Chains A and B, each alone.
Chain A
Amino acid sequence: MSFYLSAVLLGLGFAALAMGIFITMRIFNIPDITTDGTFTLGGALTAVLITGDYSPWLILLPVFFAGAIAGICTGIIHTKLKVNALLAGILVMTALYSVNLGIMNRSNIPLIETASVFDLFTPVLGEMNSQILMLLLFSVILWLLISRLLRTDFGLAMRATGNNEQMIRSMGMDPQVMKVIGIALANGLIAISGFLIVQIQGFADINMGIGIVILGLGSVMIGEIFMNLFKVRSITIHLLGVIGGSILFRLILAFSLTLGIDAIYLKLIVALFVLIVISIPNLKRTK
C-alpha cells in the first residue's frame, strides 16, 4: 500500500510540472524542452540551499524565479532571435546542465536530516501525514492560483495568444511578450516541482531532469482523456484533470513495476505509454 501511496505523493510533487507543461504545450502550443533543465535547476538550488541551512520556505520564491529566468531565456531566444521553439529549449536546457553542475559542485547531493517544507505539521500529525498534507496543500494552492490567473483578463489574453496570434495583435497585445511571460511562468512552476521532488526523495541529482518533459506531457494527456470523456470546458476543472493525470501516471508506473518490469526499462515504458496516450485520439480520427 505504501508503495502506491508514495506513487501518489510523487504524482502530487510532479503536479506543478504538469501544470507548467500544460501552459506551454496546451495554451501556447510550444513544446518547451527547457523543462529538463529547469526541473533540475529547481532541485539543485533547493538541495544546495537546504544543506546550506537556509529555511526551505525562504528559498521557495527564489527557486520559482530561477526557473522563470531560464524560461525567459528560452522565450527571448524564441521570440526575439526567431529560433525555433524546440531548438531554443534545447539550447537553454544544454546550458543549464553546466549551470546546474556549477550550482551543485558535484553530481549528487543527499539531503539527510535536513529541514523540509513537509516538516510543518510533523509535530502534530507525524512525518508521513504531514508530508501528505503539505503536498496536497501545495497542489491545491497552485491549482487555485493558476486556474484563477487563467480566468483573469490577462489569462484570457494568454490563452488567446496560443489560439490566434493575429487576433491578439489586433487586440492591442504583443504576442511575443505574452509568450515570454507564459514560458517564464511555466518554468517557474517546473522549478517548484523540482523543489518538491528533491525534498520527497531526499536527494538532488544532476540527471534528475532527463526525460521529465515527457512525464509532464503524459500527465497533461491523461488528464485530457478524461476531460474529453466528460466534455469539460472549464479551465479550472481542466487543470484539476492535469493534476489527476500526474497522479494517475505515477500510479500506472508503480503498477507496471509491480508486474516485475526491471526499473532499467522505466523510461522506455514511460515513452511507450505516452506514445499510446498521444496516438489514441489520432487513430480514432483516421477511422
Chain B
Amino acid sequence: MIELRKVSYAFKGSENDETKAISDIDLEIRQGEFIILLGANGSGKTSLLNLIAGTLEPQTGKIMAEGHDITKLKEHKRCKWIARLFQNPLSGTAPDLSLLENFRIASLRTKFKGLKIGTDEKFRRKVREHVSQLGLGLEMKLDQAVGTLSGGQRQAITLSMAVMDDAKILLMDEPTAALDPKTSEIFMSLTSRIIEERKLSCLFITHQLKNALKYGERIIQLERGKIIRDIQGDKKSKLSLPELFMWFGQ
C-alpha cells in the first residue's frame, strides 16, 4: 500500500548522520493495517508522518503509494491516498464555517471544488447520517460554526471528515493529547471502529502506552530516526505494559 524505501531526512544545518531525523528507513504499510508508532521525543515520529504526508521531502530514498512513486508529489496532491489528524484538535477544521460546510469541503478532498452550491438537502441528509454514527449528537448542530464546539468534538469531526472521502491511510499524530481521559477513550474506540469498518490503514503516534497495547495490530518503535522494534500479530497482543515501559527505560 504505502512503502518507504531507504528514506532519509535531515533538517537543514544538521548534515551529519548523528542528527538525521529519519535515517534509512524501510517500511511497508499494508492495506487495513493499524500501526502504533512509539518513540521518545525527538525520535522522528512526526518527521516520519510528515514525510509520508509530503510536508517534508526526503533527501534520499523513495516513497510509493499503491505502486506510484509519490516521493516528489506535493502535500495537497497526495491526499488521494492520505488523510491526516493532528495533535491540535483545532487544526483539522475551519472554525468560521458550519459543520455542514466543513463536511462539504472534506467530501471534495480529492475532487475539484467548483462553482456549484453543494450544501443542498441531499448532502445535508448524507452528512446527518454520517455524523450520527459518531454518537455525539452532532447531527443536531449541522449549521453551527465549528469554532463553537469543544476540542473533543472537533477532533471527532476531523476524523469523521477524514473518512468521508475514500482515503486509504490515516496519519494520526497524538490526536488524543489535548483531550480529557474520557473524551480520549471515546475518541480511541471511535477511531478503531472506523478503521476496522472502512478497512483503512493507520499510522498512529501515541505516548499513552495503554492505548498502544489496546489498539492496533502492529507496533513500531523509533529511536534516533531508525526503526528499532517492529512487532506484529500474536507477538503484539502478548505484549504487556511493563514490557513496553522497559523499551523506554534503557
Residues of A with Cβ closer than 8 Å to B?
148-149, 151-154, 156-157, 159-160, 163-164, 166-174, 233
Contact = CB atoms under 8 A, between A and B. Distances in A.
B114 A154 contact: yes
Contact of B97 (A149, A160, A166): A160
A184 to B, nearest CB: 16
A170 B108 CA distance: 11
B237 interface: no
B155 to A, nearest CB: 13
A148 B116 CA distance: 9
A164 B113 CA distance: 17
Nearest to A153: B113
A156 B95 contact: no
A171 B101 contact: no
Contacts of B84: 170
Nearest to B86: A166
The winner among A157, A159, A168, A170 for most chain B CB atoms within 10 A is A170
B191 interface: no
Contacts of A172: 76-77, 79-80, 108-111
A153 B106 CA distance: 10
Interface residues of B, number: 37
A152 B118 contact: yes
The winner among A149, A152, A157, A171 for most chain B CB atoms within 10 A is A171
A166 B89 CA distance: 12
A163 B104 CA distance: 15
Given A153-B108, A172-B76, A233-B145, A164 B93 contact: yes
Contact of B118 (A148, A153, A160, A233): A153
A149 B114 CA distance: 10
A153 B115 contact: yes
Nearest to B112: A153
A163 B86 CA distance: 16
Contacts of A159: 94, 96-97, 101
Q: Which secondary structure dominates where chain A touches chain B?
A: helix
B76 A169 contact: yes
Contacts, number: 90
Nearest to A151: B117
A154 B113 contact: yes
Given A167-B91, A171-B109, A173-B113, A153 B145 contact: no
Interface in B120-164: 143, 145
Contact of A149 (B91, B108, B110, B115): B115
Given A151-B117, A170-B84, A163 B75 contact: no
Contacts of B114: 152-154
Interface of B: 53, 74-77, 79-80, 83-84, 86, 90-98, 101-102, 104-106, 108-111, 113-119, 143, 145
A170 B79 contact: yes
Contacts of A166: 86, 91-92
Contacts of B53: 170
Contacts of A160: 94, 97, 102, 105
B79 A171 contact: yes
Contacts of A148: 117
A201 to B, nearest CB: 35
7 contacts: A151-B119, A152-B115, A157-B108, A164-B92, A164-B94, A167-B91, A167-B105
B76 A163 contact: no
Given A152-B114, A163-B94, A174-B74, 9 more contacts: A152-B115, A153-B105, A153-B108, A153-B116, A156-B113, A156-B119, A170-B53, A170-B84, A172-B79
Contacts of B86: 166
Contacts of B95: 163-164
Contacts of B83: 170
A156 B97 contact: yes
Contact of B92 (A151, A167, A174): A167
Contact of A157 (B113, B119, B145): B113
A167 B115 CA distance: 20
The winner among A149, A160, A168 for most chain B CB atoms within 10 A is A160
A172 B82 CA distance: 10
A223 to B, nearest CB: 16
Contacts of B98: 233
A43 B91 CA distance: 42
A171 B83 CA distance: 8
Contacts of B110: 172
A169 B94 contact: no
Contacts of A153: 104-105, 108, 113-118
Contacts of B92: 164, 166-167, 170
Contacts of B97: 156, 159-160, 163
A173 B91 contact: no
What 7 A-B pairs have minimum CB-CB distances, sorted nearest first? A163-B94, A160-B94, A172-B79, A153-B113, A157-B113, A152-B115, A153-B118
